[in-house]
Chain A
Amino acid sequence: MRLPQAGPRAQVALRVLRTFAPGLIVLAGAFVAIAILFPLSVAFWSAGAANTFILFLGSSSLGLLIGFFVGWGRSSGIRWVSWPLLAYVEGFRGIPRIVIVLTAVVFFPRIGLGIEWAVLWGILALGVSSGAYQAEVFRAGFQSIPRGQIEAAVSVGMNRWRSMRYVILPQVMRTVLPPLGNEWIVVLKDTSLLIVLPGFARLRIPDVIELTKVAQTLQGNTFDITQWPIIFAAAAAVYLAMTLLISGLIRFAENRYKVPGLGVMQA
């Protein structure tokens, strides 16, 4: 796109536009198509998309919190901390996420979280599962910081806490953001697994209306079988839009931590 050289403010605005344009276009296109093909369900779809986003935020944040501390612990030299955490990480990484969600569905009622807590079951299941993957990313990130950085920080007079905040963490962020971003996108897509949360077996209004359940409900209520693939294609488009938009946000976050001349750590 050849434009006359714009000032710095305008250049930032342009970059923002270019990053988010594809996602917004796909989103708009998807909703236009839905409005035309299934006009009565637009509100339903919107609710589904919004819920998906909320579930994504909750789960990935929980996973981030868990992952940070577990990863930190794993990167320490202390074996009685590191090895149990290894069990958690390897355990949850070796189990299919859908099995974890299914287990949550039967487990939580038994410990008193009834069906009205279904959303929480979902967030806990995805969050704890994602935490294992994010922990690995953080572990690698912490371990990639050269010893000399801590030595230098200490020699300038910083205590443990300060050196963590001003020296270690910024560098860890740079390394850790791309793979974390990838995992967050995976979590976004895995909110579709929450379709198995209660309401699935009954065709009444389900408790957890995320996007995939919206599509499935609509499919159940649509008589014409030739429309079914189209419904799911529309759902795919909405997911794609969300993926593009959130990836764009992550890329902006990555850019803030990039250092000229230094590549990002290759996984």
Chain B
Amino acid sequence: MIAAGPRRKRLTFAQQVVAVAAAAGIVVAVLAVAVLSGALCGWGPTACRFMSEVAPNVSTNLSWALVAISVGFVGGFFLGWARVSRFRVLRGISLGYTQVIRGTPLLIQIFAVFYLFPALNRFWESQGAGFRLDLDEVQRIIIALVLNTSAYQAEIFRAGFQSIAAGQLEAAASIGMTRPQAMRHVILPQSLRIMAPPLTNEYIIMFKDATPLAFVVAVPELVDIANRFGQDTQTVLESYLLTALTFLIVSLALTTCLRLLERRYAVPGLGISVRGGE
């Protein structure tokens, strides 16, 4: 079924947006029909309640993701830098850390960090140290998220640093720039542009896949609240479906916005595939 006719053009950016919007539209339409035909019992009013009371909690997820990504950006930068450093020890530490984080489930990481602090407190207590670190559950979740995203962003930074051709450094040196100057005016601007797509991708992943895991340790965010709402109103399945829909709509909107931003700052020929047919 490979296209036998003239090679099919890649969808332009506008076409892609329309296609995705159409897909979302179909989902909404199907659900609307289900509601109206009463196929899913106890729907209509509950659905409205859900959308007005529960759905807005998605902002919690969004803000957690934002905080985690921002702090993780700094962490990822240093880890990525260490990964390409001249010193074997730094390289080893960075590699070890990223391997462990990327090789273990985020849920386990959340559990481990979540219970680490109370455990430390208990331990210090038992040793008579008088030293405590009391972090509320949201703070602990965010720490786990930060530790996780730093490792993934480290990889992005590493690729960013290594992808700038050596010739750029040579050229900068040949016009008399010092290493810091070259870094600031030549390497970094190019690195950041190359790293923008994977970084925005990471944000979307953080929002969509990472923050909902807080549900498992019963920290209030959309999935957790939706679950409780569903239990209270006997509409668990519908609640989950609406949660899915909320995530879908928000992540599609997010993706579209971020792609638009990317296009605005894209430089022709600089690593970013400028969508919309070359």
Contact = CB atoms under 8 A, between A and B. Distances in A.
User: Do the two chains touch directly in the complex (Cβ atoms below 8 Å apart)?
Assistant: yes
Interface of A: 72-73, 75-78, 81, 83, 86-87, 90-91, 94-100, 102-103, 106-107, 110, 142, 145, 147, 150, 168, 185, 189-193, 195-196, 212, 215-216, 219, 225-229, 232-233, 235-236, 239-240, 243-244
A147 B247 CA distance: 38
Given A192-B105, A212-B105, A97 B209 contact: yes
B192 interface: no
Contacts of B2: 75-76, 142, 145, 150, 168
Contacts of B26: 87
A209 B23 CA distance: 37
Contacts, number: 140
A235 B208 CA distance: 24
B112 interface: yes
A228 B215 CA distance: 19
- Contact residues of B: prevailing secondary structure: helix
A102 B120 CA distance: 33
B212 A98 contact: yes
B155 to A, nearest CB: 12
B115 A225 contact: yes
Interface stretch (B80-88, B176-184, B235-243): B235-243
A196 B208 contact: no
Given A73-B1, A196-B216, 15 more contacts: A72-B1, A75-B3, A78-B1, A90-B24, A91-B23, A98-B216, A99-B247, A189-B105, A189-B106, A193-B213, A215-B108, A229-B116, A236-B104, A236-B109, A240-B99
A216 B217 CA distance: 11
B105 A87 contact: no
B108 A94 contact: no
Contacts of A83: 19, 22-23
12 contacts: A73-B1, A81-B1, A91-B248, A96-B208, A96-B209, A96-B244, A102-B227, A227-B119, A229-B116, A232-B112, A236-B109, A243-B103
Nearest to B227: A102
B3 A226 contact: no
Given A83-B19, A103-B240, A75 B247 contact: no
Nearest to A81: B1
Contacts of B100: 236, 240
A192 B247 contact: no
A228 B77 CA distance: 31
B118 interface: yes
Contacts of A77: 3-5, 8
Given A147-B7, A168-B2, A215-B111, A244 B240 contact: no
